[in-house]
């Protein structure tokens, strides 16, 4: 046991240790609290920074959206102004009555003109819109005259006939009437109709009959055309040889028999 004189010393040392421990614990708590406060401050600052960045991004995106909307509105305004100018310019052009031209051609076809019948058939087959396009100037010129083809931008087309967009079924009877009169152009259309079953039943025998006939009647048909038709070589192309070879000997004999028996039947006005 400690002697009596040492007891106060030991107690004093113990007390000092307790005080030191309390001081150290207090310092540690203060340090932790300070660090926690600093962390909270950093979190708040980061949150504020992110909010500021997000607001700035929203402002930038909103400004970009407004700029795009303004640009789209400007383009639409320019488009409308251009359309109005085109419409004004269009009204200044002399009108070209497509319906009247079609009616005149139709009357010729109904009266028995084989070439007019062919053209009416082509108009039905391709559709009036495509016929009037620059792609098919030969037909547009037949329908509306050479002036339209040479100066198409100077005319305003009016009164377009209401026809099917593209209908071989209504085209076929006109092409057949033309072909039966010995018109090679009509024969070409009928050949294609039978060859691929467009507007009529597929019939390869009948197709090759017309394929051979159109070559025989090409010169006579073209002799009556003034001016000459620009698409002559394209229309009078040879029939696919591979398909002809696929016919049986009996079918080929039938083709030759029908070719030999064919006689043009001119329609009387």
Give the pLDDT mean for 203-210: 92
pTM over 0.85: no
Considering the domain architecture, whether residues 58 and 175 belong to the same structural domain is answered as no
**Alpha-carbon span 195 to 108, nearest angstrom:** 28
Q: How many CA atoms lie within 13 A of 172 on its CB side?
A: 15
- Mean pLDDT across 230-244: 57
Which of 92, 121, 150 lies at the terminal end of a domain, its last residue? 92
Query: Span 257-264, mean pLDDT?
Result: 94
pLDDT per position as a tens digit, 131-149? 888 778 888 888 888 888 8
What average pLDDT does range 27-45 have in this prediction? 81
User: What is the average per-residue pLDDT within 237-255?
Assistant: 78
What is the model's pLDDT at position 135?
79
- 28 and 141 share a domain? no
Residues 32 and 134 in one domain: no
Supply the pLDDT for residue 187.
Answer: 93
Percent of all residues in the chain with a pLDDT value above 70, rounded to a whole number: 89
Cα 261 to chain centroid, rounded: 47
Give percent of the chain with pLDDT exceeding 90. Answer: 29
Higher pLDDT, 206 or 10: 206
Distances (CA, A) of 107 to 2, 122, 179, 212: 144, 16, 18, 30
Q: d(Cα 25, Cα 32) in Å, to the nearest integer?
A: 10
Mean pLDDT, residues 199-217: 90
The chain-wide mean pLDDT, for the chain, equals 83
**Mean pLDDT over residues 122-130, rounded?**
90
Structure confidence by residue, pLDDT tens digits, 72-110? 888 888 888 787 777 776 677 888 899 999 999 999 999
Three-class SS of the chain: CCCCCHHHHHHHHHHHHHHHHHHHHHHHHHHHHHHHHHHHHHHHHHHHHHHHHHHHHHHHHHHHHHHHHHHHHHHHHHHHHHHHHHHHHHHHCCEEEHHHHHHHHHHHHHCCCHHHHHHHHHHHHHCHHHHCCHHHHHHHHHHHCHHHHHCHHHCEEECCCCCCCCCHHHHHHHHHHHHHCCCHHHHHHHHHHHHHCCCCCCCHHHHHHHHHHHHHHHHHHHHCCCCCCCCHHHHCCCCCHHHHHCCCHHHHHHHHHHHHHCCCCCCCC
Select from 207, 209, 208 the least CA-distant residue to 262.
209
Residue 163 located in a structural domain:
yes
Question: 136 and 116 in one domain?
Answer: yes
**236 vs 56, higher pLDDT:** 56
Instruction: For residue 76, tell me if it sits in a domain.
Output: yes
Rounded Cα gap, residues 267 and 269, in angstroms: 6
Same-domain pairing of 143 and 156: yes
266 within domain boundaries: no
pLDDT for 223? 74
Mean pLDDT, rounded, for 191-210: 92
Shared domain for 138 and 225, answered yes or no, is yes
Q: Residue 187 phi/psi, 5° resolution?
A: -60, -40
Produce one character per residue of 109-125: b if its CB has 16 or more CB atoms within 10 Å, e if not: beeebbbbbbbbbbbbb
Assess whether 63 and 132 both reside in one domain.
Answer: no
Mean pLDDT of 162-181: 89
Handedness of CA 220, 266, 132, 142 (dihedral sign): positive
- The average pLDDT across 204-227 equals 82
CA distance 168 to 195: 13
Q: How far apart are CA 70 and CA 246, in angstroms?
A: 65
Question: Number of folded domains in the chain?
Answer: 2
Query: Does residue 10 sit within a domain?
Result: no
**End position of a domain, from candidates 51, 72, 92:** 92
Last residue of a domain, one of 42, 68, 92: 92
- In a shared domain, residues 83 and 107: no
- In this predicted structure, the answer to whether residue 215 has a pLDDT above a threshold of 70 is yes
Evaluate if residue 171 carries a pLDDT over 80. yes
One domain, residues 136 and 83: no
Instruction: Identify whether 216 is part of a domain.
Output: yes
Residues 231 and 199 in one domain: yes
Do residues 78 and 146 both lie within one domain? no
If asked whether residues 132 and 252 sit together in one domain, one would say: yes
Among 6-15, 23-32, 157-166, 168-177, the minimum mean pLDDT is found in: 6-15
Does pLDDT of 224 surpass 70?
A: no
**3 within some domain:** no
State the residue range of the domain holding 48.
19-92
4 falls in which pLDDT band (50, 70, 90)? low
């Amino acid at each position: 046991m400690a002697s009596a004189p040492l007891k106060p010393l030991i107690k004093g040392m113990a007390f000092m240790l307790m005080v030191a421990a309390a001081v150290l614990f207090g310092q540690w708590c203060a340090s932790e609290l300070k660090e926690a406060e600093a962390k909270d401050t950093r979190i708040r600052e980061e949150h504020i920074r992110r909010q500021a960045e997000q607001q700035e991004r929203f402002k930038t995106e909103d400004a970009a959206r407004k700029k795009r909307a303004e640009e789209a509105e400007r383009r639409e305004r320019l488009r409308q102004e251009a359309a109005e100018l085109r419409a004004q310019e269009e009204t200044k052009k002399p009108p070209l009555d497509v319906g009247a031209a079609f009616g005149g051609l139709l009357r010729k076809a109904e009266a028995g003109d084989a070439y007019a019948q062919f053209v009416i058939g082509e108009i039905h087959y391709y559709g009036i819109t495509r016929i009037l396009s620059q792609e098919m100037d030969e037909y547009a010129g037949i329908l509306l005259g050479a002036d339209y083809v040479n100066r198409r931008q100077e005319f305003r087309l009016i009164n377009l006939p209401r026809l099917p967009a593209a209908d071989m079924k209504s085209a076929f009877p006109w092409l057949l009437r033309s072909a039966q009169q010995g018109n090679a152009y009509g024969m070409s259309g009928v050949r294609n109709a039978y060859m691929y079953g467009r507007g009529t039943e597929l019939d390869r025998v009948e197709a090759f009959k017309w394929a051979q006939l159109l070559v025989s009647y090409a010169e006579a048909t073209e002799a009556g055309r003034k001016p000459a038709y620009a698409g002559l070589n394209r229309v009078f192309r040879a029939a696919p040889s591979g398909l002809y070879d696929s016919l049986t000997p009996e079918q080929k004999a039938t083709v030759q028999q029908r070719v030999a028996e064919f006689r043009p039947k001119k329609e009387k006005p």
